Amino acid sequence: MSPAPARSAEEVQAFREKILDAAQDILNKQGFEALSMRRIAGRLNMTATNIYNYFVNKDEIYLALQTRGFIVLVKHFELVDAQYKSPEDRLKGYMRAYIAFGLEQPDQYAVMFTYNTPKFADYVGTPQEPAATEEKLAAMVLADMAAKTAGDYLKERPDLAGITDPYYRMVHAWVTLHGIVSIMNSRVLQEVVVNSDEVISFITDEVLSHLLSPSVKGAKAVPVPPPGKPRLPGQ
Note whether 8 and 113 are same-domain residues.
no
Residues 183 and 113 both lie in one domain: yes
- Amino acid residing at 89: D
What average pLDDT does range 101-121 have in this prediction?
94
Q: In the prediction, which pLDDT does 112 show?
A: 94
Cα distance between residue 40 and residue 36, in whole Å: 6
Q: Please check whether residues 76 and 189 belong to one and the same domain.
A: yes
Pick from 76-80, 138-142, 143-147, 181-185: least confident: 143-147
- Of residues 165 and 190, which shows the higher confidence score? 190
- Residues 170 and 103 reside in one and the same domain: yes
User: Given a cut of 90, is residue 141 above it in pLDDT?
Assistant: yes
DSSP-assigned letters across all residues of 3-21: PPPPPPHHHHHHHHHHHHH
Q: Does 39 map to a domain?
A: yes
Count of structural domains, the chain: 2
Looking at the structure, tell me whether residues 88 and 144 fall in a common domain: yes
Distance CA 113, CA 104 (A): 14
Residue 91 and residue 51 share a domain:
no
- Return the exposure string of 100-137: e unless at least 16 CB atoms fall within 10 Å of the residue's CB, then b: ebbeebbebbbbbbeeebbebeebeeeebeebbbebbb
pTM for this entry? 0.84
* Residues 146 and 194 both lie in one domain: yes
Tell me which residue range forms the domain holding 37.
1-55
Q: Is 230 left (phi over 0), alpha (psi -120 to 50) or beta?
A: beta
Is residue 176 scored above 50 in pLDDT? yes
Dihedral through CA 187, CA 67, CA 98, CA 172, nearest 10? Answer: 90
User: Greater confidence, 67 or 225?
Assistant: 67
Which whole number is the average pLDDT over 206-216?
76
Is 152 found in the same domain as 208? Answer: yes
pLDDT of residue 235: 47
Distance of alpha carbon 138 from alpha carbon 73, whole angstroms: 10
Selection from 31, 25, 16, 33 nearest residue 67 by Cα: 16
User: Average pLDDT of the chain?
Assistant: 86
Q: Are residues 119 and 142 in the same domain?
A: yes
Residue 60 lies inside a defined structural domain of this protein: no
Residues 30 and 77 in one domain: no
Helix (H, G, I), strand (E, B) or coil at 224: coil
Q: Dump pLDDT digits (tens) for 27-69.
A: 999 999 999 999 999 999 999 999 999 999 999 999 999 999 9
Write down the pLDDT at residue 7.
Answer: 72
Within a domain: 160: yes
Q: Model confidence at 221, in pLDDT bands (50, 70, 90)?
A: very low
Residue 88 · residue 208 · CB < 8 Å: yes
**Mean pLDDT along residues 195-219:** 78
Asked whether 180 and 200 are in contact (CB, 8 A), the reply is yes
For the domain that residue 133 is a member of, what is the CATH number? 1.10.357.10
